[in-house]
Amino acid sequence: MVVNELASVQEVIMVYIGSLSQKSRNSDYLQELYRFSQWCGPDKQIDKVSAPEVGDYNENAILRLGIENSANRLTEVKKLLIYAYKEGFITQNLSQHVRLRRPRKNASGKSISLKNGKSNSSNKESLTKQGVAELNRELEALKNKGFK
């Protein structure tokens, strides 16, 4: 595998987009490639992008978009990194550092979004210190009855 050491992140993205069919060029997902380029530095040589940079971008995207929305957009970044590896632009497969997470489900089977630390459930309740203390007392009572 011959590595093209002079290719910048932006150049590899342009070559990758050019390799896609017209149908595959979804602007929402391709916008994530632009963000990835800005994160790494568009003029940075792609073979200088590190695994921690990719991991940090992944975590940032999940926080920015939420778990539900990040999966599709991060898939496009993952595909770009697989393409760059297969085409010899990078020697290390950085795509493994893009981790797509599934939304967590609550007891009722509804998805929980971690964006802004809030859930998607419409049953939102706030607990006061008194409410937390009451729940702790109830928990202790259940433990004393043999529930774990």
Q: pTM score, two decimals?
A: 0.64
The token pair that represents 122 in the structure block: 């419409």
DSSP H or E segment with residue 105: strand 104-105
User: pLDDT tens digit string along 24-73?
Assistant: 777 667 888 889 999 999 899 999 999 999 999 888 888 888 777 777 78
Number of other CB atoms surrounding residue 43 within 10 Å: 10
Of 32, 39, 45, 41, nearest to 6 by C-alpha is 45
pLDDT(139) > 60 = yes
